[in-house]
Amino acid sequence: MDHKARHDNYKLIRVGLKRDDHVKLFQEIEAESDSYTFYGHARKIGQELTILIAAHKIFEFEDIVERNGLNYIVLVSFTCKYILIKSKLHF
């Protein structure tokens, strides 16, 4: 039986923190939610934060960034096929 973590339909995104309230917002999200995996911590204005977002939180995240005037880019959209290929290549 394969016990590898599944990340079907997850997204790896990068979001730019433009204001102090953006920094505080992502500090709160990181502290409160286990559905976001942060690569680094929200610390300062001007920072670009990389986050892995669970599939069931994608719409919530899109709503958060829209309501707060943030821009983000999707670095990788994980699909089952992508993960299986990466797994077979041992990345």
The pLDDT tens digits for 16-50 are 999 999 999 999 999 999 999 999 999 999 999 99
Q: Structure pTM?
A: 0.77
Which carries the bigger pLDDT value, residue 87 or residue 60? Answer: 60
Number of helices (H), then strands (E), belonging to the chain: the values are 3, 4
- Going by pLDDT thresholds of 50, 70 and 90, the confidence category of residue 9 is confident
Nearest to 75 by CA among 37, 46, 41: 37
Query: Residue 91 has what pLDDT?
Result: 46
